[in-house]
Amino acid sequence: MNLHLNSKLPHVGTTIFTVMSALAAEYGAINLSQGFPDYDGPAALKERVKHYLDHGFNQYPPMAGVLKLREAIAAKVQRCYGASVSPESEITVTPGATEAIYCAVMAIARSGDEVILFDPAYDSYEPAVTLAGAQPVRLPLAPPHYRIDWQRVVDAITPRTRMVIVNSPHNPTGAVMSRADLLELERLAERHNLIVVADEVYEHLVFDGVRHESVLRFPALAARSFVVSSFGKTYHVTGWKTGYCVAPAELTQELRRVHQFVTFVGITPIQHALADFMQTHPEHLDELPGFYQRKRDLFNTALRDSKFKIHASRGTFFQLADYSAISELPDRAFAEWLTKEKGVAAIPLSVFYETPPKSRLVRFCFCKEDETLRAAAARLCAL
């Protein structure tokens, strides 16, 4: 049957993360491609989920999320960023950060609007903008540090510019925005009446003593922003697909109008368990930077004698590696060869670009057990 469909996303195929994880499984490769740990979340957190499963907490929660979880989020925002937010009107729990980003874009962007993105960009941003009928405007981040060129942002702003999407710590590069970056974003957003979507899912994975500069630290910027976070990244439970969005009441109201018709609610027992764990184990957040910095350093040290060129990631659980001394293959072909022939799966950087630069870079994920990282590094050093 030929239905003569006119696709709304004609250039979008299966996400590269699904493709490379499937390829890794097919060839028995060590999977350093998709960003998920090969270790489990905290035992105390899992115990609380079991408790709520067994004690009748299995029906719909409130659309905005379980109140005690929203209260725990508000307490965390106050402790980490010194910002006071309302659990009732400024916090929404969502089934994953991607859903929160989608709802934020759909709530604000309209046909004819322009939305500024920064390349390399996480792959969910542009489809959300396109489905909203808006036009993505993609600006490049320059390697090796991938900092925003604010003059290019100024030059790109037009009367149709409605939104800017930022991501720090940044997937896939590991770059981290500075206080000066946030102050400039605040200035431009106020001057041009822009709405900001801040993807901060790796907020607690910042290394070398650097502080995460959340949008929530900047009151004038927070007043026009959706700030999106992820429990999956923070608590090593990516499969639970639970995140949240902090935004001023006016923006939250618009986000919830969309959210209620996308997924409506998150999973009830998981929300109760997360609330309990946040209250009883606040130290978990404080320990994360050191936990992941040690894994970054272990992996990078193990690659010291390889032919890969590396600039240490400043955040996230991803590390870029330049393979130009190993192969002249384009990055996607190299990633496939590396998976099939050498038994290590990575993500090619070009998939995060509208117009990929002429570089040879792949992204490795180091949120893996130490023995997994050492085994992968041994194979990579043999190239």
Q: How many domains does the chain have?
A: 2
Domain with residue 343: its CATH number is 3.90.1150.10
Amino acid, res. 48: R
Find the helix packing angle between 268-280 and 43-54, rounded to 10°.
140
Same domain flag for 77 and 116:
yes
CB atoms under 10 Å from CB of 184, counted, come to: 16
SS3 57: coil
Average pLDDT over residues 330-340: 97
Task: Decide the pairing of beta strands 135-140 and 114-119.
Answer: parallel
Which residue range forms the structural domain that includes residue 148? 43-280
Residue 215 lies in a domain: yes
Same domain flag for 271 and 293:
no
Helix (H) or strand (E) holding 77: helix 67-81
Same domain flag for 312 and 247:
no
| Helical residues (DSSP H) of 193-282, grouped into ranges | 219-222, 231-234, 249-259, 268-280
Residue 81 lies in a domain: yes
Residue 175 lies in a domain: yes
CB distance 333 to 350 below 8 Å: no
Same domain flag for 190 and 109:
yes
CA 289/CA 265 separation, integer angstroms? 30
Q: Residue 358 — pLDDT band, cuts 50, 70, 90? A: confident
With the C-alpha atoms ordered 273, 276, 282, 283, is the resulting torsion angle positive or negative? Answer: negative
CB atoms under 10 Å from CB of 327, counted, come to: 15
**Rounded percentage of the chain residues whose pLDDT exceeds 90:** 94
**pLDDT tens sequence across 51-91:** 999 999 999 999 999 999 999 999 999 999 999 999 999 99
**pLDDT tens sequence across 188-245:** 999 999 999 999 999 999 999 999 999 999 999 999 999 999 999 999 999 999 999 9
Same domain flag for 28 and 60:
no
Same domain flag for 214 and 341:
no
Residue at which a domain ends, from 280, 298, 320: 280
Site of tokens 């699904």: 18
Residue 114, CA atoms < 13 Å, CB-side half-sphere:
13
Same domain flag for 33 and 118:
no
Residue at which a domain ends, from 236, 254, 280: 280
Residue at which a domain ends, from 241, 262, 280: 280
Residue 133 lies in a domain: yes
Residue 130 lies in a domain: yes
Same domain flag for 269 and 310:
no
With the C-alpha atoms ordered 87, 90, 95, 98, is the resulting torsion angle positive or negative? Answer: negative
pTM (two decimals)? 0.97
CA 207/CA 271 separation, integer angstroms? 28
Residue 349 lies in a domain: yes
Same domain flag for 243 and 358:
no
Average pLDDT over residues 323-330: 97
Question: Which token pair is 278?
Answer: 């946040």
CA 238/CA 234 separation, integer angstroms? 9
CB distance 113 to 107 below 8 Å: no
Same domain flag for 246 and 261:
yes
Domain with residue 228: its CATH number is 3.40.640.10
Residue 366 lies in a domain: yes
